[in-house]
Amino acid sequence: MEEIFVEVAVPVPLFNTFVYRIPLHLNKADLIGRKVKVPFKSTKHYGIILGVKNQPDFSKVKDVFSVEDKVFTEKEINIIKNLSEFYISPIGLTVDYFVPNKIREKNIKDPFIGKLFFLKENSQVKKLTHKQKELLELLYERDYLTYEDLKELGFDRKTIKSLVDKGIVEVKEGLSILKDSLVLSSYKEDYESINTLKNKIYLFDEFYPEKRLNYYLQLTQKIKNGSIHIILPSVELCNIYYEIFSRRFKNVYVYNDSISPSTQWQVWKKAMEQNVILIGTVSSAVIPIKNQKILIVEEEDSKVYKSKRTPKIDIKRVAYYINKEKGIPVIFASSIPSLESFLSLQKKQIIHLNNKPKINSANIQIIPHKNINSDLLVIKDLITKSRSCLIVANKSYYSSLVVCERCGWQAICQKCGYHLNVHLKEGKKYLECGRCKTKYEYTPLCPECDFKTTETGFGKEKVEVFLKKSLPVEFWNKFKVVSSLELKTLSVGKFETVINLYPDFILDFPDFRSEYEFFKKVMIPITVCEKNYVAITNQEEELKRFNFDVYKFLTWELKKRERLNLPPFIKVIKLEIFTKNLKGSIVSNYVEEFFKNLKIIKKSVLDNYLMYIFEYKNEEDKKIFKDFYEKTLKKSNIKITIEVNPSNFQ
């Protein structure tokens, strides 16, 4: 029998693949996409077969130890190869990003695999290491992070476990399904395109999420002898969608990082073997789904879709390759389209699924923000006149800063130097670091000059305290206060009146995306509004200019970015370099000489860290980064990460 040689991707930081021989006694059927165990240097690794090869021209070819489960088909392998090339990511690490946790055998015994990590509320923070502070800062920025995310970002199991043991970080299996607040109402939109979808990419910017959900239910009903895949930005939304779809259909499965490795693998195999409705997060993106008829990326504008793990992918790029390789319709859906999708729509690179979205703007009111006291009186009055009222406070704390107006003193964290927020619990104020969550005793007097301190800013806690003090108890069940992060449009419910309290805070951040993010902060609460929407803001003229018209704003924002040469009109690569016992200034000279033909958009050089944003024009320019990666790989005191089209320039 003729010998068979295979090309294998091994999860190591190398761009090349490896050739192995399949011994005569092992399974040789349907090899592409199968898991193998292979010898690699002095260890045993898992790998994925990418293809069958001719006999190599070198004599020493090692045998694989075993040929195991089918993980991918050839189509998924081609998608992964394209992603590896586009994101300048080693093929083995790109494969490893998408495989289910059970395939990574060495990690199966780790109890943190498949878990989610959250900041624990009201935890007591004591002395922390620099690495622990970094981890807490990341969790503060996001709702949660998976174990795989944390490992990729450089946090070892010891650091993670220490914060869990201290009671600062909480480990969860998953998020609860919010059964009592689901809103499907009676929307029955019947888009003609349900029966006429082609193998194209579509933009579905129906403004109200429940209308989009109803469309997906109708679409699923129409699909015969096939599978549908819906990708969502959070575990919480996965649970909500699962609850709704499983009431109406059979073979509904959820796949995300919150479920156990064994359950993940069961779902993976079910999706390969039978027609399914698969609901998942980004980790489900390249599951080889049987008879897949359509892919839907819901909330395509979400920041979560830009991965923090290598290969730092964007889900829209993955979906693009799925469309090309599998020849199926792909839908990008959101209330406010991403600028990239809106630009593609203008260039006719993608197709509009719906007509221009309609927004109920008959009862929109803008009230100038003067100070928090006058704002609260306005809110109180609106509650008394409404059947139900939602207040979006945008921040969760009581006050944002404590300062002394006489000497300029400000309450700062003694551990990390970040400013302290004021919080209120059981009628008692305390200070908490906005970064590392260290708590301090509240100080009404300045420690420098003994003058009375002043609190600035406001958040959810202050609003709740004022309303419960000033309104009779019978009004308490008429209102709800949430921060903007808590505003989940399918779980909050609907309210007669929605009040958006000072979304302007986002404009304080020095980021080219701030005006786009501000517009989203203004618009998204309208999706849960039944009748009256009130925005308390100092951006009245800006909002009147766009008249709450999504397309008008997006067109203006694109023109501004094109004029300023900003994304999506510029292609950039972010290069981060972490050094050990090597001065950043020395490395900087080497980097700038290496990339002398590329334009530097931004750079930051510190003792042990360097960050560069380079502009690139074409795929040839990317090869320079690959060369740089391979040349520095052998240096033990340097670690680099490459991010194509980063989400920010920081």
Among 396, 564, 618, 568, residue whose Cα is nearest residue 485: 396
Asked whether residue 180 is domain-assigned, the answer is no
Query: Which helix (H) or strand (E) element contains residue 48?
Result: strand 43-53
Average pLDDT of the segment spanning 277-300: 97
pLDDT digits (tens, 9 = 90+) for 361-397: 668 999 998 888 899 999 999 999 999 999 998 777 8
If you search the block for the tokens 């349907």, which residue do you land on?
A: 30
486: number of CA atoms within 13 Å, CB side? 15
Asked if the model's pLDDT at residue 554 lies above 50, the reply is yes
pLDDT of 456 reads 78
Of all residues in the chain, the percent with pLDDT exceeding 70 is 91
Asked whether residue 61 is domain-assigned, the answer is yes
> Residue 71 belongs to a domain with what CATH number?
3.40.1440.60
Whether residue 29 is found in the same domain as residue 61: yes
Whether residue 77 is found in the same domain as residue 138: no
Confidence bin at 177 (pLDDT 50/70/90): very low
Select, from the ranges 160-174, 292-306, 439-453, 628-642, the one with the highest average predicted confidence (pLDDT). 292-306
pLDDT of 637 reads 83
Distances (CA, A) of 525 to 239, 385, 558: 22, 19, 23
pLDDT of 167 reads 82
Strand partners, 9: 48
Whether residue 626 is found in the same domain as residue 552: no
Average pLDDT of the segment spanning 600-623: 92
The total number of structural domains in the chain stands at 5
- The answer to whether the beta carbons of residues 48 and 39 sit under 8 Å apart is no
Among 265, 229, 231, residue whose Cα is nearest residue 71: 265
Asked whether residue 182 is domain-assigned, the answer is no
Confidence bin at 94 (pLDDT 50/70/90): very high
**Residues with Cβ < 8 Å from 28, sequence gap 6 or more?**
4, 22, 67
pLDDT of 109 reads 54
> Residue 523 belongs to a domain with what CATH number?
3.40.50
Asked if the model's pLDDT at residue 173 lies above 70, the reply is no
Whether residue 222 is found in the same domain as residue 320: yes
pLDDT of 106 reads 54
pLDDT digits (tens, 9 = 90+) for 134-164: 788 777 666 677 776 677 566 878 888 888 8
> Residue 213 belongs to a domain with what CATH number?
3.40.50.300
Whether residue 507 is found in the same domain as residue 577: no
Distances (CA, A) of 200 to 193, 293, 326, 618: 12, 12, 11, 25
Q: 331-345, 405-419, 537-551: lowest mean pLDDT where?
A: 405-419
Asked whether residue 413 is domain-assigned, the answer is no
Whether residue 97 is found in the same domain as residue 121: no
Asked if the model's pLDDT at residue 319 lies above 50, the reply is yes
Asked whether residue 441 is domain-assigned, the answer is no
Choose the final residue of a domain: 332, 352, 372. Answer: 352
Asked if the model's pLDDT at residue 416 lies above 80, the reply is no
Whether residue 370 is found in the same domain as residue 513: yes
Whether residue 143 is found in the same domain as residue 212: no
Asked whether residue 296 is domain-assigned, the answer is yes
pLDDT of 178 reads 33
Asked if the model's pLDDT at residue 123 lies above 70, the reply is no
Q: 52-61, 194-203, 283-292, 565-574: lowest mean pLDDT where?
A: 52-61
464: number of CA atoms within 13 Å, CB side? 21
Comparison of pLDDT for 650 and 58, the residue scoring more: 58
Confidence bin at 176 (pLDDT 50/70/90): very low
Alpha carbon of residue 195 to chain centroid: 32
Asked whether residue 153 is domain-assigned, the answer is yes
Of all residues in the chain, the percent with pLDDT exceeding 90 is 55
Distance CA 77, CA 95 (A): 8
Distance CA 417, CA 433 (A): 9
Choose the final residue of a domain: 103, 128, 144. Answer: 103
Distance CA 256, CA 479 (A): 34
Asked if the model's pLDDT at residue 179 lies above 60, the reply is no
Is the torsion defined by CA of 276, 281, 284, 286 positive or negative?
Answer: positive
Select, from the ranges 430-434, 454-458, 537-541, the one with the highest average predicted confidence (pLDDT). 537-541
**Residues with Cβ < 8 Å from 4, sequence gap 6 or more?**
21, 22, 28, 31, 52
Whether residue 160 is found in the same domain as residue 243: no
Confidence bin at 344 (pLDDT 50/70/90): very high
**Residues with Cβ < 8 Å from 34, sequence gap 6 or more?**
48, 49, 67, 68, 69, 70, 71
**Residues with Cβ < 8 Å from 434, sequence gap 6 or more?**
140, 397, 418, 419, 420, 421
Choose the final residue of a domain: 74, 103, 132. Answer: 103
Is the torsion defined by CA of 210, 215, 221, 223 positive or negative?
Answer: negative
Confidence bin at 186 (pLDDT 50/70/90): very low
Confidence bin at 174 (pLDDT 50/70/90): very low
Asked whether residue 557 is domain-assigned, the answer is yes
Question: Whole-number mean pLDDT of the chain?
Answer: 87
Asked if the model's pLDDT at residue 41 lies above 90, the reply is no
Q: 360-364, 586-590, 595-599: lowest mean pLDDT where?
A: 360-364
Asked if the model's pLDDT at residue 591 lies above 60, the reply is yes
pLDDT of 350 reads 96
Strand partners, 5: 21, 53
pLDDT of 624 reads 96
Query: Which helix (H) or strand (E) element contains residue 269?
Result: helix 261-273
> Residue 632 belongs to a domain with what CATH number?
3.30.70.600
535: amino acid identity, one letter: A
Whether residue 46 is found in the same domain as residue 25: yes
Residue 15's domain comprises 4-103
- pTM for the structure as a whole: 0.84
Whether residue 93 is found in the same domain as residue 225: no
Residue 490 CB coordination number (10 Å) = 21
Distance CA 169, CA 134 (A): 13
Comparison of pLDDT for 434 and 649, the residue scoring more: 434
Whether residue 370 is found in the same domain as residue 348: no
Backbone angles phi, psi at 97, to 5 degrees: -60, -35
If phi > 0 it is left, if psi is from -120 to 50 it is alpha, else beta; for residue 15 that is: alpha
Distance CA 423, CA 428 (A): 8
Comparison of pLDDT for 649 and 480, the residue scoring more: 480
320: number of CA atoms within 13 Å, CB side? 14
